[in-house]
Amino acid sequence: MKNVIVTGGSRGIGKCLVENLAKEGYNIILNYNKSEKQAKKIQNDLKENGIIIEIFKADVSKKEEVKKLVNFALEKWESIDILINNAGIAKLQMFQDVTEEDWDEIINTNLKSAFYMSQAVMPSMIHKKSGCIINISSIWGIVGASCETVYSISKAGMDALTKSLAKELGPSNIRVNSIAPGVIETDMNSNIDEKIKQEIKNETPLGKIGKTIDIYRCAKWLIDDEFTTGQVISVNGGYVIS
Ligand code: NAP
């Protein structure tokens, strides 16, 4: 079965990806940074069902920690078949208030991490002439978000990484795609109050907020597919149609 690294697998979308791919039989390394308890709980809950996954603490915004994570994977496995760059943070603030530290934190966590991770797993994928990289970007990278400028920039950058790498790595049979979620029920959106949620639902053709499983279904399809690369697939209930 194929070997998968999911960054930011301790909560939200990453947790859902880990749990469902593990149940499908994929070998998983769940990367986490701060949420050790949650990561261990996911590991233990799966173990109770006879499913073994590995967990590995690494701040993926740091090159040295990414190196350790990928080395850990290559010590366990002969190859890394699938990389899901999912780790991310968001910060709501007026652009005028953005400090250089804010900029660096968001860009490094959301975008530079995908650069480090992709570069680190590429040799293994090129060697095998097979691979799948999925970048979890965002609708805000496509249309821009007021008060989340740096976040939007980081996600637009991810989509550009997807398109460029798809061209560069296609000849090595490595597919690179983005999933650009709309609003999905996770901790990241815990600050959105019910009134705003209702407004979002009203503006969404499918009339609902997304669930983490919606992102898993798209990721699974991209993993199974053999002729899709360089695409930004937006899973958003029709909230953004571009
Ligand atoms: P979440 O519930 O806040 O979870 C974020 C995950 O990222 C956590 O597992 C966290 O791990 C991990 N993470 C953050 N910084 C990290 C770092 N430096 N190194 C390693 N892991 C790190 O968020 P989510 O909603 O699931 O978001 C997952 C991805 O989807 C993000 O890239 C986000 O931008 C994107 N997205 C989400 C939505 C949405 O509506 N929820 C919409 C569009 C795009 P620890 O807690 O262990 O640090």
At 2 the pLDDT is 98
Taking residues 98-123, what's their average pLDDT?
98
Q: Rounded to the nearest whole angstrom, what is the distance from the C-alpha of residue 57 to the centroid of ligand 1?
A: 14
List residues bridging with 133 in a β-sheet: 83, 176
Q: CA-to-CA distance for 86 and 42, rounded, in angstroms? A: 17
The pLDDT value recorded for residue 232 is 98
Ligand 1 contact, 2 CB (< 6 A): no
Residue 25, pLDDT score: 98
Span 213-235, pLDDT tens digits? 999 999 999 999 999 999 999 99
pTM above 0.95, yes or no: yes
* Lookup: tokens for 218: 């798209």
Which residue segments constitute the domains of the chain, with CATH numbers given? 3-233 (3.40.50.720)
% of the chain with per-residue pLDDT over 70: 100
d(CA 54, CA 59): 16
Show the beta-strand stretches assigned E in the chain: 3-6, 27-32, 54-57, 82-85, 131-136, 174-181, 232-235
Catalytic pick among 26, 32, 151, 216: 151
Q: Token pair for residue 159?
A: 């989509």
- Collapsing DSSP to helix, strand or coil, 41 comes out as helix
Going by pLDDT thresholds of 50, 70 and 90, the confidence category of residue 110 is very high
- How much is the average pLDDT of 190-203? 96
Question: What confidence tens digit (pLDDT) does each residue in 28-48 have?
Answer: 999 999 999 999 999 999 999
Quick check: is 26 catalytic? no
Mean pLDDT, range 184-192, rounded to an integer: 95
Q: What separation, in Å, do the N-terminal and C-terminal C-alpha atoms of the chain show? A: 36
Q: Which of 5, 6, 11, when mutated, tests ligand 1's pocket best, judged by the most ligand atoms within 8 Å of its CB?
A: 11
Q: What is the mean pLDDT of residues 120-144?
A: 98
Q: Name the residue at shortest CA distance from atom 21 of ligand 1.
A: 8
